[in-house]
Structure 1
């Protein structure tokens, strides 16, 4: 199959884009991107050319920019170019030159794509690039997603040359007398990709001459295997995960029986900020007592009886809120508190409403989260009880406990909000005026 037929066949096979869609070709001036531009012209596909000058190679960078400018004029297509202060950007962002160039390049290409009315950005990655990527991923350590290499299409990026090898691109350029420029930085092996390109793969080819084709064929199978893998992971997530409000729940026994445990657990907990180093700690929760937890970058995973509970990390909040007599409404992260004075009437029985004898309450009131050591006299009892013990009697989970607030007057708790008032502040026969408190949980 000739290269032109291969291109059109691959575009159709991978459903990269339709023939009438305009494509922005990222063109460096090297053989890969230049041949891609000529192939698009030969195929009659609408396109524009975009070139980035990173100003890292002095006169050579200027030469490349001039070459691609001439190429676009020769092919009669729109041309866009930009110059970056890449070294300054790398210093400012504290990233490597390679990372800086990649970030600058793709951000500008996407902006240019939108402005020029192009449907996709095409890069000239070929089969060797794909093989190099997979080998590097394996050496660094990777899951199954690292084995699919460079995908033919990702959002607005397409790679229409992944079907062909570098030698075929060079042969096409020679056969059609296509000139191109050489990037001197591609020769050095100080960059990881160049090390694999010039040192690792040639050695592998000595033992297995067809290694590039063989690995490329494997990549195709890995992509299909990843699809099956993803479908299975989705089924496991649906079976294991349930949600109540802002809390995700996993039944401990059900997760313990899941096979393969480590793989499924990783796919679940990575979505909640868990790193690979933290996964063993999370799995230890399956055999721990209630109250143990692991904090990830974004969530907390808590063992609570027969469940693992997953919640977002709460933002820090002021330790207490001072409520003066004139204040009638207070907002917290967990709910709203309304306060009003009323004449003695029928006492509501709803748990979120408290009625206190107004004349037993001293201002200012303090609204805060409960803490260890707190105690009060639960309504109907004549002796004090620790709030923590009260929670145990009420069979509250760790998450429920964390959302409990108390209202304090004169250093005494008058209401464990939403649960029980203090007996010392209750309505009596002699009560004339009430303080009515209403809590609306968020």
Structure 2
């Protein structure tokens, strides 16, 4: 116990996480990691309160967790903050996964409590194994050097004091002190990628290196220092070669050709403009070609000039959403003209193209809405089983950023996307064998 206390105390001090007199908000799920954090903070005499989130995703188990944490706070005579969320509804409304929804809700609530009750920092109980899982997850998905430092001990008012312990350290500590905790049943499911890494991949790696978590912790500190050094050098390069002009920025071709290593440094210089590695490779390959070639990111546009690359911000349209009512036979949005017609009889066959869709009228909730594409939009392309981000669909259709900012999206009254106008309808609204009434939407492109 004393060695664990000393280990935690030294970690907090060496990383300047907070002062001994600061009041800290502890995020407590009821699992062994957060319970160990509570007891260690208590034994060290720190001032703290406890916050718990009920995401209502695991039935009665969430009530059990909530009441356990409430009882823990009461036994320790410390402040208790609780919030219950309709996480599923939030995820559907924002078109994100339930895991991402829970994360966003959790941190927004913790920050609200931190400000409202004058807590200095928010402490979460992630440990060395969590940091290792994060790195492996980043490597699987694809990452730059920023994905290799794992989890920062202090970032944006969130501190992670338990990073000085491994999962085994915490389990041993809990058993030795007979601290009660609750188990989250979802941790035993391998349907989540992180759980697969924890349950299947890491045990195989530990057969080769039993001290894997400690080894990772050593290397993560090295990568963190390496990232800090790279950022410092890139800041100097940007100050030297990135020249501001009336419409944005420019970089001399010669300056790019002198960069070594060229791809890494140019990516770091341009990543604030949302250009990915593929775009950087294409840009480098075009440097010795004829002027005029263009490159697009989600936010910016590069033109390859004779002596420079010119970087401009893409100006998004600010056209108000258009409400479409059932009685509207024709309507216009931006430079697109639309027609809406009800079929009086069920046709024997359908002749459609990208500018026409047939929709099951019973599924429509009026008024419909026309607007431009937004980040996070998802739909189920006609003929597909799963959902797809419209941004990914645009990439597959070779639609550049400038074009996609001008493509109207037809949206049902319940929020579901009916049509990426002029490209593809949503499979959920297609005409089926039991459809009784049909509406045809047509678009005339500018």
Q: In the alignment, is residue 22 of structure 1 matched against residue 23 of structure 2? A: yes
Q: After superposition, what is the alpha-carbon deviation per residue over 1:249-308, rounded to whole angstroms, capped at 9, x for unaligned?
A: 111012112111100111112111212332223223422323322122212211222111
Greater than 6 Å deviation, 4+ residue runs: none
Secondary structure of the structure 1 residue equivalent to 2:251: strand
Q: Name the structure 1 match of 2:410.
A: none
Distance 1:305 1:196 in 2: 49
Q: Name the structure 1 match of 2:285.
A: 284
Q: Name the structure 1 match of 2:231.
A: 230
Q: Name the structure 2 match of 1:117.
A: 118
| Corresponding pairs, count | 318
Structure 1 residue 244: Cα displacement? 2.3
Distance 1:144 1:47, change over 3 A: same
Distance 1:314 1:90, change over 3 A: closer
Distance 1:90 1:143 in 2: 28
Q: Name the structure 2 match of 1:55.
A: 56
Q: In the alignment, is residue 175 of structure 1 matched against residue 176 of structure 2? A: yes
Structure 1 residue 41: Cα displacement? 0.7
**Given the two structures, how large is their TM-score scaled by the length of structure 1?**
0.70
Distance 1:141 1:22, change over 3 A: same
Q: In the alignment, is residue 206 of structure 1 matched against residue 216 of structure 2? A: no
Q: In the alignment, is residue 143 of structure 1 matched against residue 147 of structure 2? A: no
Paired residues of 1:249 and 1:309 also in contact (CA < 8 A): yes
Structure 1 residue 97: Cα displacement? 1.2
Q: After superposition, what is the alpha-carbon deviation per residue over 1:142-178, rounded to whole angstroms, capped at 9, x for unaligned?
A: 1111000000011110000001011111221122221
Q: Name the structure 1 match of 2:436.
A: none
Q: Name the structure 1 match of 2:186.
A: 185
Distance 1:316 1:5, change over 3 A: closer
Structure 1 residue 116: Cα displacement? 1.2
Secondary structure of the structure 1 residue equivalent to 2:111: helix
Q: After superposition, what is the alpha-carbon deviation per residue over 1:184-205, rounded to whole angstroms, capped at 9, x for unaligned?
A: 1111111111111111111111
Paired residues of 1:113 and 1:121 also in contact (CA < 8 A): yes
Paired residues of 1:90 and 1:100 also in contact (CA < 8 A): yes
Secondary structure of the structure 2 residue equivalent to 1:162: helix
Paired residues of 1:282 and 1:301 also in contact (CA < 8 A): no
Distance 1:317 1:12 in 2: 49
Distance 2:106 2:308 in 1: 47
Q: In the alignment, is residue 69 of structure 1 matched against residue 101 of structure 2? A: no
Distance 1:128 1:81 in 2: 27
Distance 1:157 1:175 in 2: 29
Distance 2:303 2:6 in 1: 57
- Structure 2: 5+ residue stretches without partners: 320-446
Structure 1 residue 99: Cα displacement? 0.9
**What are the equivalent positions in structure 2 for 1:289-300 lying under 5 Å apart?**
289-300=290-301
Secondary structure of the structure 2 residue equivalent to 1:250: strand
**Given the two structures, how large is their TM-score scaled by the length of structure 2?**
0.69
Q: Name the structure 2 match of 1:153.
A: 154
Q: Name the structure 2 match of 1:251.
A: 252
Q: Name the structure 2 match of 1:102.
A: 103
Paired residues of 1:285 and 1:293 also in contact (CA < 8 A): no
Distance 1:92 1:316 in 2: 23
Q: After superposition, what is the alpha-carbon deviation per residue over 1:4-50, rounded to whole angstroms, capped at 9, x for unaligned?
A: 11111000011111111111100000000011011111111111000
Distance 2:92 2:313 in 1: 34
Structure 1 residue 248: Cα displacement? 0.9
Distance 1:58 1:315 in 2: 43
